[in-house]
Homo-oligomer: A and B are copies of this chain.
Amino acid sequence: MRGIALVTDFGDQGPYVGQMELCLTERAPQAQVTRLISDLPPFRPDLAAYLLPALARDVAGPMLYLCVVDPSVGGERGVLAVEADGNWFVGPDNGLMALVVRRAAQRRVLRVTWRPRQMSASFHGRDMLAPVAAMLFNGERVDGEEIGVGEMAGNDSPQDRRCIIYGDRYGNLLTGLRAGQLDRRTTIQAGPNVLRFARTFCEVPSGTAFWYEDAFGLVELAVNQGRADQLLGLGPGDGITPLVSA
């Protein structure tokens, strides 16, 4: 395993990512730890589920992804450690890792039964998920039981999702649709607007909204020299519709 990547909705604000890193550097001192993304839409594992495989697609493996979008922390949801096409993913069993698993050719799902001696009610990312990630990175045994893919939360999620899953600093809107699944003649209805495909920003006039295949392989809505979030009035969770031309 060449490193551990952190994928969370904690924000760069606060001590949450920092405390997870300090736990990892204590328990897996050999691991190179990288903050891959910290500002996933809060409390929406159903959206992050479609970004996670897109983010991992172009990162050289084998990597361990420590994934925390966990609205039900303190409740009864389980913890999973998933091996998918050579990478490992550790996170709550709430659908966050459903698409990574569904799209993998080779996969194995472990429901983790190991529990730390002490665990806060609200920060399992530090107290449970980071220690599990460190153990896996170190090649140590993690107590758990292998389960079938059908037993994971979110196992019935669609392969693509027709909505905005993330908005970036520039106002670009990433969607849950893989661009490789769409013909370039497809248009995307987003609110009252219908967007055509362009290869990149400078192929459309300034101020024009369009869709393109972004660097993660997703359909992304953008505006040349403008903000798609403001022009289209859309954000994470809002639906979109691909329209096939006759």
- Residues in chain A within 8 A of chain B (CB atoms): 2-3, 5, 10-19, 21-23, 25-26, 29, 32, 34-39, 42-43, 51, 55, 58-60, 63, 71-75, 120-123, 126-127, 166, 168-170, 199-203, 212-216, 225
Contacts and interface: CB of A to CB of B under 8 A. Distances in A.
Main secondary structure of the interface of A (DSSP, over half): loop
A22 to B, nearest CB: 5
Nearest to A39: B13
A59 B168 CA distance: 30
A120 B169 CA distance: 19
A29 B2 CA distance: 10
A14 B26 contact: no
Given A14-B39, A19-B55, A60-B26, A74 B200 contact: yes
Nearest to A3: B25
A219 to B, nearest CB: 13
17 contacts: A2-B25, A2-B26, A11-B168, A13-B169, A14-B168, A15-B37, A15-B51, A17-B35, A18-B35, A19-B55, A19-B58, A19-B59, A23-B59, A29-B32, A75-B202, A121-B199, A122-B201
